[in-house]
Structure 1
Amino acid sequence: MTLLVVGASGFLGAEICRQAVAAGQRVVGTYHSAAVAVPGVEARRLDVTDRSAVRALVTAVRPEAVIGTPYRYDDWAVTADGAAHVAYAAAEVGARLVHLSSDALHAGRPTPYPDDEPPTPIFPYGAAKAAAETAVRAVDPGAALVRTSLIVGEGSKQIQLCRDALAGRAALFTDELRCPVDVVDLAAAVLELVPADHAGPLNVAGPDAVSRAELGLLVARREGIDPAGMKTTTGAASGLLRPTEVRLDSTRAAGLLRTRLRGVTELLTS
């Protein structure tokens, strides 16, 4: 199989590439600015906002499957338009598409969100991810849409943010709950979905709902750091409009996939 990973220089994209190469697949990985640093990957530069460039690359590679991971937090053209361009190009060559989405498209509430919950975005990034899903489903109804949460693991931005807060250089929200997932588990789950016939949204996240501040305390405990200096805040105090409690119910994924999605408490205390 030839697998095209769009966004292979990112944290998740790189891990997907590593696992796919280890499994003996031919992997073509795209990047925009930061180079792809995974041995065995055929790296190609790509601007996902350029529809013609995306079509040309996919047509040249002719992959059996495409995994779309690119995003830029504050850039609609990359997150929404880029996803549409990738979906269109993949459909043209008949490639299986697994699109990476986010829990950011939900507004937040006390009860968990099932897989097929319609998006209710309340801030620009969430709206862009919702638009991306809409475009992908319109172009390719058979595509898998993986809704995930905070991605943790060595080298993750989330863990570094916790370290920064513990050092007093940043602040963690006490009222923003998520279901963190390990990058290794998530990459394995995404690769499992490539040969599967699942279509539509699927929650793939960890079973533990923790606040960002609680995540910081777990990091402190694992790394032997005194948490007394950890800075915290709330959404209201920060003046930012962001989703608060977003719990993804990943029960279906747990039954569908062989990969065990470990909770962040297990990951950071084992």
Structure 2
Amino acid sequence: MTLLVVGASGFLGAEICRQAVAAGERVVGTYHSAAVEVPGVEARRLDVTDRAAVCALVAAVRPDAVVATPYRHADWVVTADGAAHIAIAAAEAGARLVHLSSDSVHGGRPSPYLDDEPPTPIFPYGAAKAAAETAVRAIDPGAALVRTSLIVGEGSKQIQLCLDALAGRATLFTDELRCPVDVVDVAAAVLELVPSDYAGPLNVAGPDAVSRAEMGLLVARCLGLDPAGMKTTTSAASGLHRPTEVRLDSSRAAGLLRTRLRGISELLAV
């Protein structure tokens, strides 16, 4: 199988590439600025905001499947329009599409979100991710849309943020709850979905709902660091308008996939 990973230089994209190469697949990975550093991947530069370039690359590679992971928090064109361009190109090539979405599409509430619940974004990034989902579903109703949460693992921005807060260089929110998940688990789940016929949204997140501050304490305990200097606040006190409690119910994925989605407590167990 030929697999095209759009956004292969990113944290998740690189892990998807590593696992696919290890499984013996031909993997073509795209990048925009940062280079693809995964051995065995055919790297191609791509600007996802250029629809013609996306279509030309997909036509040249002729992939059996496309995994779309690109995003940029402050850039609607990359996050939303780029997703539509990828979906159009994949559909024209007859390639299976697995699109990576986010729990940011939800507005936040105490009860968990199920897979099929419609987006309720309350901030620009969430709106862009919701628009991306809408475009992908309209262009390719057979595409799988993976809604995930904070992705952790060695070298992740989330763990680094915790380390910075423990060192007094950053601040963690006590009122923003998410369901962190390991990058290895998300990548494995994505690759399981590639040969499947699953269509529509699927929550792929960890079972533990924790605040960023609670995750900081777990990191401190795991690494034997003193949490006394960890800086915390609330998103409200910071003047931010973002979702607070966003819990993803991933029970459908747990029953559908072989991959076990581990929680942050297990991942950072002492």
- Same fold? TM cut 0.5: yes
- Tell me the distance in 2 between the aligned counterparts of 1:231 and 1:257: 38
2:132 is matched with 132
Equivalent position SS for 2:67: strand
2:74 is matched with 74
Alpha-carbon deviations, 1:67-95, whole Å to 9, x = none?
00000011000000000000000000000
Equivalent position SS for 1:243: coil
1:262 is matched with 262
Q: Give the alignment of 1:116-195 within 5 angstroms.
A: 116-195=116-195
Alpha-carbon deviations, 1:106-161, whole Å to 9, x = none?
00000000001110000000000000000000000000000000000000000000
Equivalent position SS for 1:236: coil
Question: Does 2:243 correspond to 1:243?
Answer: yes
- Tell me the distance in 2 between the aligned counterparts of 1:33 and 1:187: 22
**Aligned-residue offset at 1:238:** 0.3
- Tell me the distance in 1 between the aligned counterparts of 2:67 and 2:214: 31
Segments of 5+ residues of structure 2 without an aligned counterpart are none
**Aligned-residue offset at 1:236:** 1.0
Q: Give the alignment of 1:25-104 within 5 angstroms.
A: 25-104=25-104
Alpha-carbon deviations, 1:210-239, whole Å to 9, x = none?
000000000000111100000001011000
Read off the aligned partner of 2:218 and give its amino acid letter: L
Read off the aligned partner of 1:87 and give its amino acid letter: A
Q: Give the alignment of 1:182-261 within 5 angstroms.
A: 182-261=182-261
1:113 is matched with 113
- Tell me the distance in 2 between the aligned counterparts of 1:145 and 1:224: 38
- Tell me the distance in 1 between the aligned counterparts of 2:169 and 2:9: 26
Please, what TM-score do these two structures have when normalized by structure 1?
1.00
Q: How many residues align?
A: 270
Alpha-carbon deviations, 1:158-202, whole Å to 9, x = none?
000000000111100000000000000000000000001100000
Read off the aligned partner of 2:124 and give its amino acid letter: P
- Tell me the distance in 1 between the aligned counterparts of 2:229 and 2:117: 38
1:14 is matched with 14
Read off the aligned partner of 2:268 and give its amino acid letter: L
- Tell me the distance in 2 between the aligned counterparts of 1:199 and 1:161: 34
Read off the aligned partner of 1:191 and give its amino acid letter: L
**Aligned-residue offset at 1:99:** 0.1
- Tell me the distance in 2 between the aligned counterparts of 1:155 and 1:18: 15
**Aligned-residue offset at 1:22:** 0.2
Alpha-carbon deviations, 1:234-269, whole Å to 9, x = none?
011000001000000000000000000001000001
Read off the aligned partner of 1:155 and give its amino acid letter: G
**Aligned-residue offset at 1:97:** 0.1
**Aligned-residue offset at 1:53:** 0.3
Read off the aligned partner of 1:64 and give its amino acid letter: D
